[in-house]
Chains A and B, each alone.
Chain A
Amino acid sequence: MARIFAYIVHNDGVVDDSAVELLVAAKSIDAAAKPTAIVTGSGAELDAVCKALQDSYAEIWKISNSALAYPNAELVRKALVAVIPAASIVLLPHSHFGVDLGPGLSVKLKAACLTDIIGIEGVEGNFLKAIRQEFGGQVSTHVRCDISTGAVINVRPGAFKPETSAAAGGTVADISSAVGALTAGRRYLETVVAEAGDVDISKEAVLISIGRGIQEQDNVAIAEELAKVMGAALSCSRPVVDAKWLPKSRQVGSSGQTVKPKVYIACGISGSFQHMAGIKGNPFMVAINKNPKAPIFQVADVGIVDDLLEFLPELTSKIRELVTK
Chain B
Amino acid sequence: MEILVCVKRVPDTSENEIALNDSGNDIERDDLVYSVNEWDNYAVEEALQIVEKQGGNVTVATVGGEDDEEILRREMAMGAKKSVLISDDAFVGSDGAGIATLLKAFVLQNKFDLILTGAQAEDGAAQVGGMLAAMLDYPFASLVNSIEVVGGSKLKVSREVESGNKEMNEMDLPCVLSIQTGINEPRYVGMRGIRQVASIAIPTLGAAELGVDAASVGKFAAKVQRTDYFAPALGKGSEMLTGSREEVIDKVIELVKAKGGLK
Contact B225 A143 (CB under 8 A): yes
**Cβ contacts under 8 Å, A242 to chain B:** 181-182
Contact B238 A300 (CB under 8 A): yes
Contact A100 B130 (CB under 8 A): yes
**Cβ contacts under 8 Å, A134 to chain B:** 122-124, 229
Query: What's the Cα separation between A140 and B130 when bound, in Å?
Result: 24
Instruction: Kindly state whether residue B231 has any CB partner on chain A within 8 Å.
Output: yes
Contact B100 A187 (CB under 8 A): no
Question: How many contacting A-B pairs (Cβ < 8 A)?
Answer: 262
**Cβ contacts under 8 Å, B130 to chain A:** 99-104, 107
Contact B226 A107 (CB under 8 A): no
Q: If A113-B224, A188-B167, A314-B249 touch, does A298 touch B235 (CB 8 Å cutoff)?
A: yes
Q: If A258-B162, A298-B234 touch, does A104 touch B249 (CB 8 Å cutoff)?
A: no
A-facing mask of B38-50, CB < 8 A → 1, else 0?
A: 0000000000000
Instruction: Kindly state whether residue A27 has any CB partner on chain B within 8 Å.
Output: no
B-facing mask of A118-152, CB < 8 A → 1, else 0?
A: 00000000000101111110111111111001010
A-facing mask of B5-46, CB < 8 A → 1, else 0?
A: 000000101000011100000010000000000000000000
Instruction: Kindly state whether residue B119 has any CB partner on chain A within 8 Å.
Output: yes
Instruction: Kindly state whether residue A44 has any CB partner on chain B within 8 Å.
Output: no
Q: Smallest CB–CB gap between A275 and chain B, Å?
A: 13
Instruction: Kindly state whether residue B164 has any CB partner on chain A within 8 Å.
Output: yes
Instruction: Kindly state whether residue A280 has any CB partner on chain B within 8 Å.
Output: no
Residues of B bordering A, CB below 8 Å = 11, 13, 18-20, 27, 96-97, 100, 119-120, 122-131, 133-135, 138-143, 156, 158-172, 175, 178, 180-182, 223-232, 234-235, 237-241, 245-246, 248-250, 252-253, 255-256, 259-263
Residue of B nearest to A101 (CB): B130
Query: What's the Cα separation between A310 and B232 when bound, in Å?
Result: 31
Q: If A96-B159, A263-B261 touch, does A113 touch B143 (CB 8 Å cutoff)?
A: no
Q: Which among A144, A258, A323 has the highest number of chain B CB atoms within 10 Å?
A: A144
Q: Apart from A100-B140, A132-B124, what 20 extra A-B contacts exist at CB < 8 Å?
A: A100-B141, A104-B130, A105-B134, A107-B97, A112-B97, A113-B96, A135-B11, A140-B229, A142-B226, A186-B140, A189-B156, A191-B167, A192-B168, A231-B262, A254-B162, A285-B238, A298-B234, A302-B241, A305-B240, A314-B246
Contact A99 B164 (CB under 8 A): no
Query: What's the Cα separation between A101 and B178 when bound, in Å?
Result: 12
Residues of A bordering B, CB below 8 Å = 72-74, 77, 95-96, 99-108, 112-116, 129, 131-136, 138-146, 149, 151, 184-194, 205-206, 230-232, 242, 248-249, 251, 254-258, 262-263, 265, 284-287, 296-306, 310-311, 314-315, 318-319, 322-323
Q: If A113-B127, A286-B252, A298-B237 touch, does A143 touch B227 (CB 8 Å cutoff)?
A: yes
Contact A112 B223 (CB under 8 A): yes
Query: What's the Cα separation between A231 and B92 when bound, in Å?
Result: 56
Q: If A134-B123, A141-B226 touch, does A297 touch B240 (CB 8 Å cutoff)?
A: yes
Q: If A262-B259, A284-B259 touch, does A138 touch B165 (CB 8 Å cutoff)?
A: no
Query: What's the Cα separation between A105 and B134 when bound, in Å?
Result: 8
**Cβ contacts under 8 Å, B245 to chain A:** 306, 310-311, 314
